Amino acid sequence: MIAGLKLHGGVVVAILLLLAFAPFIIDWIDKPFYLDLVTRMVILAIAAASLNLILGYGGMISFGHAAYLGIGAYSIGIPAYYGEYDGLYQLAITIIACGSFSLLTGYVCLRTKGVYFIMITLAFAQMMFFALVSIEEYGADDGLVIDLRSELPFGFSLENSVSMYYLCFFILLFFLFIIHRLVNSRFGMVIRGSAVNDSRMQSLGFPTFRYRLLCFVIAGVMCGVAGWLLGNFTNFISPEMMDWTRSGELIFIVVLGGAGSLFGPVLGTAAFVLIEEVLSGFTIYWQLYFGLFLVAVVLFVRGGLDGLLSKFSRSDK
């Protein structure tokens, strides 16, 4: 068992160390392209971690989580379109926009259960998608190009790709810390309890609807921040960012990594980005194999990568 903990913890520590020194390693092997890949991975991991908070711990299967990526990205895109590049200002818009969208939609969605919840979150995300597709002013289908990345205080420049990366990495660590504290607090106990048996939590006297709504909003805002980073990173935003297949991929990442485990989303994202990268270099029909892989993961891998690691650890004691 102790060896097991070592293996599981070891993999997590190794990945975090790799991520912490990624720019130096990439500089050393002289493949600057990989820094883009790793940055994208870290941003996706933030989005996945926020989904994991509601899906993995809260049992709320949101099929519309990519909407927050999109809203976050448009929260820089639209100000930038009007020549406003102040990063904190844009971040405030992101938080307000994602907070109010998740509050409003969450208020409706959380009244429903099971598959209704899956479908209604999907429908709200589609609603945002179609709304942005049809607004000609902000580029409609073609999206918007962002000329300059957000300007941050203290002369911290995002135009430098290494600082961009570290900003993403520290936000990831910060959010993982918050999620860790949240799910182990009384608040988190209520959320996890109501995922298992909502009526029991209610009869214990907890107004679970409010707890779940707040959790939904926190996850939405976190994912919005990931969208803010993504828009900055790609310098280009389009409604495609909140396409429903993006939401599906986020769910897949969470399940692949292991829903309801703190570092699962990080493992899942790493695996997802690597698989995508390898397969798409291999054949243009990579999505065929990717789809089959996804089906296979659902059918044969319970508990995701995180679960697999722990299982191996337990058997090799």
Partner 1 sequence: MDGALVVVQLLNGIQLGVLLFLVAAGLTLVFGIMDFVNLAHGALYMIGAFICASLTLALDSFLIAIALALPATFIVGYLIERVFICHLYHRDHLDQVLATFGLILVFDTLVHMLWGPAGISYPLPNWMNGQVNLFGFVDFPLYRLLIIFSGITVAIGLYFVIVRTKTGMLIRAGASNRTMISALGVNINQLFRYVFATGAMLAGFAGMIIAPITEASIGMGSDILLIAFVVIIIGGIGSIRGALIASLIVGLIDTMGRSFLDDLMKLFVSNQAAETSAPALSAMLVYILMAAILFFRPQGLFPPKTR
**Which residues of this protein are in contact with partner 1, per CB under 8 A?**
55, 61, 63, 105, 108, 111-116, 118-120, 122-124, 126-127, 130-137, 244-245, 248, 251-252, 255, 259, 285, 287-288, 290-295, 297-299
Nearer to partner 1, 23 or 77 (CB): 77
Nearer to partner 1, 105 or 232 (CB): 105
Which residue, chain included where needed, has tokens 């971040």?
91
Task: Encode 208-237: b = buried (16+ Cβ within 10 Å), e = exposed.
Answer: beebbbbbbbbbbbbbbbbbbbbbbbbbbb
Do 265 and 254 meet the contact criterion of CB atoms below 8 Å apart? Answer: yes
> Nearest 5°: phi and psi at 86?
-65, 115
Dihedral over Cα of 102, 108, 110, 114: its sign: negative
Task: Encode 156-191: b = buried (16+ Cβ within 10 Å), e = exposed.
Answer: eebeeeeebbbbbbebbeebbeebeeebeeeebebb
Please report, as a single letter, which amino acid is at residue 309. L
> Nearest 5°: phi and psi at 184?
-95, 5
> Nearest 5°: phi and psi at 32?
-55, -25
Nearer to partner 1, 14 or 295 (CB): 295
Nearer to partner 1, 67 or 266 (CB): 67
Nearer to partner 1, 22 or 249 (CB): 249
Nearer to partner 1, 44 or 120 (CB): 120
CB 156 to partner 1: min, Å: 35
CB 61 to partner 1: min, Å: 5
